[in-house]
Structure 1
Amino acid sequence: MAFKTFVFRLLSLYTITLAGSSLSLAQSSQWFHLDAKTDSVWGISTDRTYRELLNNRKPTPVIVAVIDGGIDSTHEDLKRILWTNPKEIPGNGIDDDKNGYVDDVHGWNFIGGKDGRNVQYETAEVTRQYVRLRPLYEGKKRSELKPAQQKEYDLFVKYRKDVEKKRAEYQEQYQSYSSFSNQLVTIISGLKNALGVSKLDTATLRNPATDNDFVKKAAAALYEMTAAQGFAQAEDIQDELTRGLEDLKAKAEYAYNPDFESRSIVGDNPDDLTQTNYGNPDITGPDPLHGTHVAGIIAADRTNNVGVLGVADQVKIMAIRAVPDGDERDKDVANAIRYAVNNGAQIINMSFGKDVSPQRKAVDDAMRYALSKGVLLVHAAGNDNKLLDTTASFPADRFMDGSAIPNLITVGAVTAKNDEHLVASFSNYGRKTVDVFAPGMSIYSTTPKNGYDNLSGTSMAAPVVTGIAAVLKSYFPKLTYADLKRIIEKSAVVQNRKVLRPESDELVDFTELSKTGAIVNLYEAVKLAQAEEAASAEKKG
């Protein structure tokens, strides 16, 4: 979730009345696996699907590529399901399979150097474009330029304004939210002392053991804040704020800082799109939180009786590091897609995006290449509560020539609340641009160092859909990318109801927010796949 949205929601929760049933389900450790009919929450019915529909079918392994910021390859819930390059000998410094990448045992890192260093922070694309144009137009007047240069000069002025505005905004937000975070820490510490407890879970906050009215009111307010976010304890809010503050600081110090440069670590020419064999085999990187969480949603080990359960049970995760803390580069995304396709990925999860794409053609060409090889792409819609029908966002839902991308599914996020708050307030949406919605709020999954935590975003909704696609491909291996997309969309459950438009008080029909007006469901998808399989067999027989 966008951190600004998260904090604003916390600050406004004192006036929100919440339904008890929705809260209890939101706190379920993995509510997205639950079933709408039996649990009254719009999960994808994972457990019911395995229990009722798939128990007599034999799955086949499916390779799913996760293009992200890195994956903790040692995690107890992920190490067994990592893809291993069968033709590569680990650590021998030789490109054994001759694919252009040395020691790519579990994937590849396109934002690392051959010396083993890695990019963690990166500038926003708008900052990079401003820096590119600055030597050409700084100090110039538009009237002095040739007509052919004036259009580019206008872009320079726009980029400069955007960079300066964004940097100032993030610096101000960091200061403001730091103050709020400090106050929250003080409140949590004070309540712990007053109640004599070591942690403030929702049960303690709902029924505090005290006669002090002030403590009761403080506990009630903190309970609303905690429960509304789907957290189990107040300390989870504190952790979320800490992560959010780190993100704000990174944006203020790096993303919109025109004097920051990290690409030299990689050692390539970022403008040379013909370069493909740069990087290193470190698939973890300095901060694998996001990618580790995404991988766990798709395929956390369902057989080891520890931690959490992924959606799919026969997946091998190929880790491709191409997304830093900042905007990913088009060159890296294009090469990551091609690497995934060339090394056998059948589905690619892409939980990233940005507003400017100067090398868009390279990404388009890579997606066309994936299309030619029958690979399905699943993309997060984004967390800016924007109407994508009228707002630029990349990778886009269409090719540059305006034609639809047949092998792409774009995913928005829903919450565990079975009411007008169903759509996540941060989610992007669009009747022409977003295909489906999936659970994306307070999703409990794997985090680095054998950890587990709730994270929110369309970044979490996309891997839910990727997991569904992987289950379908695993249990019905003859399905093509087109079949997978069609079945997922056709089986999604249409929501004929009024919901709040993201980050708005306006009630709209859910059907106005995406092409299908529906939330994905694994049970319905498998049921449809079975019906089509039976119909095909009957026709042939």
Structure 2
Amino acid sequence: MKLVSMKKILAVSMTALFSVFILTVFFGFSNKGTASEAGPFVPDEVLVRMKPGYRLESLLPGLPVRLEVQDSGAKEAFRVVRLKIRSGESVQKALSVLGKNEGVLFAQPNYIYHAALVPNDPEYASQWALVKIRAPEAWEQTTGSADVIVAVLDTGVDLNHPDLAGNLWTNPGEIPGNGIDDDGNGYVDDVHGWNSHENSSDVQDTFGHGTHVSGIIGAVGNNGVGVSGVNWAVRIVAVKASSGDSFPTADLADGIDYVTALKTAKGLDIVAINASLGAAVPEDLILNQAIESAGNAGILFVAAAGNNGGDNDVTPFYPASLFRPYVLSVAATDESDALANFGGGKASNYGRRTVHLAAPGKSIQSTYLSMGYSLLSGT
């Protein structure tokens, strides 16, 4: 085996084992939903996938419920459309009506997921987890590689952070800020990634979660600044699917599709998507479809087991509970290698069948907003 290949394998393995130990950083948020309908979802939207040969626009006028097309975005290729429910109608009624239409393959709520929150770097001494996973021994073989690309599906990244800027993926086919889709991939000015939440190129993090996770994966190491990532060298594609704690299905699916297209259409060797989020919702067909497309393209989907202290074998926590060979579910441990307890009734989820591994996830020091650093905990 060539040395480059060995380094790449080690870098990918380290990313899978450690970059996600804080996948669901715990901020103490609670799931939001409606009092009358089960599950957290956007209260005035539904998602519809059409059968081949049918167009939803031609069917809407005859439906006994008031709906309007909000957008189809990057999901048009899969015939998935986001519909806005007009005032006075309910998600339950809309789904009932749409489900009976012969042209509809399936209709579902727009579910909401939640953020589950020896180098010379001066903050390295506070990074106990790197020692716990024996990262220094791995670094003797490789400290990462710019050939390894990881997408962070989260709240964006602090593009100006001195410990992250050097490891951000930059699209060589785009001219920043000219308002033109220079590389013709359907995304204007996607220089460092894509904002699927606002359908724009602005991936700057204003919340902090994505920046913290990105630092764990790939804060520049041995640069005399701040902390060290598991991979000193890596390329991070920023996919901003939310500006806060709530991640709607449609925005997550569009973000995943963007990453998949980067690999299948542009040839980027993206090895993994880090998904720092989840919710105890019914199985999400539209999100599953996007994850499946990424998995079929050879992209590992790494998901948080969750912070509810529950058994995922009994109560599924999606998308981590999507039982597929390309989905890796990660729980959190503390400094004693015990399942992490975060206090306030929050602890790492677990599951003999549905949780695949555990990694450090309590009091983790990493990059944060305003070019700073912060300790956070979670799965």
User: What's the TM-score bracket when you normalise by the shorter of the two chains?
Assistant: 0.5 to 0.7
Query: SS in structure 1 opposite 2:138?
Result: helix
Tell me how far apart the structure 2 counterparts of residues 439 and 327 of structure 1 sit (CA, whole Å). Answer: 24
Query: SS in structure 1 opposite 2:375?
Result: strand
Q: Deviations over 1:351-403 (max 9, x none)?
A: 10112257x211111111112211111111111111111113211433xxxxx
TM-score scaled by length of structure 1: 0.44
Query: SS in structure 2 opposite 1:349?
Result: strand
1:519-534 equivalences under 5 Å are none
User: Do residues 327 (structure 1) and 327 (structure 2) align?
Assistant: no
Equivalent AA in structure 1 for residue 135 of structure 2 = T
Tell me how far apart the structure 2 counterparts of residues 303 and 87 of structure 1 sit (CA, whole Å). Answer: 30
Q: Deviations over 1:131-164 (max 9, x none)?
A: xxxxxxxxxxxxxxxxxxxxxxxxxxxxxxxxxx
User: Do residues 282 (structure 1) and 202 (structure 2) align?
Assistant: yes
1:350 maps to 275
1:80 maps to 166
Q: Deviations over 1:220-245 (max 9, x none)?
A: xxxxxxxxxxxxxxxxxxxxxxxxxx
Query: SS in structure 2 opposite 1:382?
Result: coil
Q: In 1, are the aligned partners of 2:145 and 2:231 still within 8 Å (CA)?
A: no
Over the residues paired in the alignment, what is the CA RMSD in angstroms? 2.1
1:14-93 equivalences under 5 Å are 28-34=125-131, 43-51=132-140, 53-54=141-142, 59=145, 61-93=147-179
Equivalent AA in structure 1 for residue 357 of structure 2 = V
Q: In 1, are the aligned partners of 2:249 and 2:286 still within 8 Å (CA)?
A: yes
Residues 1:71 and 1:394: Cα distance change in structure 2 (over 3 Å): same
2:98 maps to none
Tell me how far apart the structure 2 counterparts of residues 293 and 327 of structure 1 sit (CA, whole Å). Answer: 17
1:31-430 equivalences under 5 Å are 31-34=128-131, 43-51=132-140, 53-54=141-142, 59=145, 61-112=147-198, 279-287=199-207, 289-343=208-262, 344=268, 345-357=270-282, 360-398=284-322, 404-417=323-336, 422-425=338-341, 426-430=347-351
Q: For the pair shown, which has the larger CA radius of gyration, 1 or 2?
A: 1
Residues 1:324 and 1:428: Cα distance change in structure 2 (over 3 Å): farther
Query: SS in structure 2 opposite 1:61?
Result: strand
Residues 1:74 and 1:318: Cα distance change in structure 2 (over 3 Å): same
Equivalent AA in structure 2 for residue 342 of structure 1 = A
The match for 1:437 among 354, 358, 362 is 358
Query: SS in structure 2 opposite 1:346?
Result: strand
Q: In 1, are the aligned partners of 2:130 and 2:136 still within 8 Å (CA)?
A: yes
Residues 1:447 and 1:2: Cα distance change in structure 2 (over 3 Å): closer
1:198 maps to none
Provide the aligned length of Structure 1 versus Structure 2: 250
Residues 1:2 and 1:449: Cα distance change in structure 2 (over 3 Å): closer
Q: In 2, are the aligned partners of 1:381 and 1:434 still within 8 Å (CA)?
A: yes
Residues 1:318 and 1:79: Cα distance change in structure 2 (over 3 Å): same
Residues 1:316 and 1:4: Cα distance change in structure 2 (over 3 Å): closer
Which structure is higher in strand share? Answer: 2
TM-score scaled by length of structure 2: 0.62
Tell me how far apart the structure 2 counterparts of residues 379 and 453 of structure 1 sit (CA, whole Å). Answer: 22
Tell me how far apart the structure 1 counterparts of residues 246 and 172 of structure 2 sit (CA, whole Å). Answer: 32
Tell me how far apart the structure 1 counterparts of residues 127 and 214 of structure 2 sit (CA, whole Å). Answer: 15
Q: In 1, are the aligned partners of 2:305 and 2:320 still within 8 Å (CA)?
A: no
Unaligned runs of 5+ in 2: 1-24, 30-123, 263-267, 342-346
Tell me how far apart the structure 1 counterparts of residues 329 and 366 of structure 2 sit (CA, whole Å). Answer: 21
The sequence identity of aligned pairs, in percent, is 43
Which structure is higher in helix share? Answer: 1
Query: SS in structure 1 opposite 2:246?
Result: coil
Tell me how far apart the structure 2 counterparts of residues 391 and 314 of structure 1 sit (CA, whole Å). Answer: 38
Unaligned runs of 5+ in 1: 6-26, 35-42, 113-278, 399-403, 459-541
Query: SS in structure 2 opposite 1:409?
Result: strand
